[in-house]
Amino acid sequence: MPGKDFLKLHLIVFAWGFTAILGKLISIPAVEMVFYRTFFAAIIIYFLLRFKKIKIGVPGKDIWRLLGTGLIIGAHWIMFFGSIKVSNASIALTGMATASLWTSILEPIVLGRRILWYEVLLGTVVIIGLAIIFSLQLENIIGVIMALLSAFLASSFSIINSRFTRKYDPYAITFYEMTGATISIALFFPLYQLWFTGGTPLQLGLTGMDFLYLLILAGVCTVYAFSASVEIMRRVSAFSVNLAINMEPIYGILMAVALFPEDEKMTPQFYLGAVIILAAVFSYPLFQRLHKRRMAK
């Protein structure tokens, strides 16, 4: 991976780590939060596309696929922020590190390439790190499950997007996907209100700070970070992207501990697990290089 792409990817991942902080600061529930996030992001991207004079025309079949991918993205974010709400930012962020394992399983199936042994190995190492971290987190099992589902969905749409990046502009892709996510959540609202809130009215009212945090979440952590990640996928595999995303919990948890020390208490097991995950992240380029040399011979 070129150094410029490596640096850009980690800036993106840092921005994604900051989403957990924003999710904790925003007062409304996860579903309403993601609705506003995707709605604001779609509006911002639309005006960016008009300003940059980028064509957003996409064949009908692919429009539906992009909108459907938006549904997956919306569900991913709802699970992620929901995990933060029912447990804490540390659990939600660390659960996201399983994205690399899911990708090592799903990418060969979807893209039709053979499974690479070192991807499975590193994915397994990540799971060992997570097992150590979660060993004392049984009281937060719902948050753990939601975080793992979020990682699975993140892996799924990353693989799907790796195909679209070869055909369409990253901002156009993001526009359709954010639109699809917004529409999907709006259609889900009646069922959400009936099954999950017990008939309680939707909490769509925003404070001034909520509005500010949502603009940062939509503009920086979504429009920039998401579109830039889609653009990078033109040159970098989905597995490489998701392995770098394993740094998201490290960046996010460090920020969470600094800002919310009472809510984000860390155990020795966490630090051991975090070191194992970091080892997997930074050893990936080495394994990739060794594999390419072996194939060249």
Question: Which domain does 271 fall in, by range?
Answer: 3-296
The count of domains in the chain is: 1
- Say if residue 200's pLDDT is above 90: no
- pLDDT at residue number 54: 79
| Segment 280-287 mean pLDDT | 76
Mean pLDDT of the 163-179 span: 85
Residue 74: predicted pLDDT:
94
d(CA 56, CA 119): 35
Non-local CB neighbours of 212 within 8 Å, separated by 6+ positions: none
Handedness of CA 267, 272, 274, 275 (dihedral sign): positive
Predicted confidence (pLDDT) at residue 85 exceeds the cutoff of 90: no
Asked if 42 and 183 count as a contact pair (C-beta separation under 8 A), the reply is no
Which residue's entry shows tokens 């939601």?
Answer: 146
Helix (H/G/I), strand (E/B), else coil: 194: helix
| Cα 100 from Cα 245, distance rounded (Å) | 8
Residue 165 has pLDDT above 80, yes or no: no
48-80 tens-digit pLDDT? 888 888 777 788 888 999 999 999 999 999 999
At residue 55, φ and ψ (nearest 5 deg) are -70, 135
Quick one: what percent of the chain has pLDDT higher than 90? 27
Of the listed ranges 7-11, 25-29, 200-204, 267-271, the least confidently predicted one is 267-271
pLDDT tier, 280 (very low <50, low <70, confident <90, very high otherwise): confident
Give the model confidence (pLDDT) of 243-277 as tens digits: 676 677 778 878 887 888 776 666 777 778 878 87
Provide the mean pLDDT of the chain: 83
Note the pLDDT tens digit of each residue in 209-256. Answer: 999 999 999 999 888 887 787 777 777 766 666 667 667 777 887 888
Cβ atoms of 222 and 175 within 8 Å: the answer is no
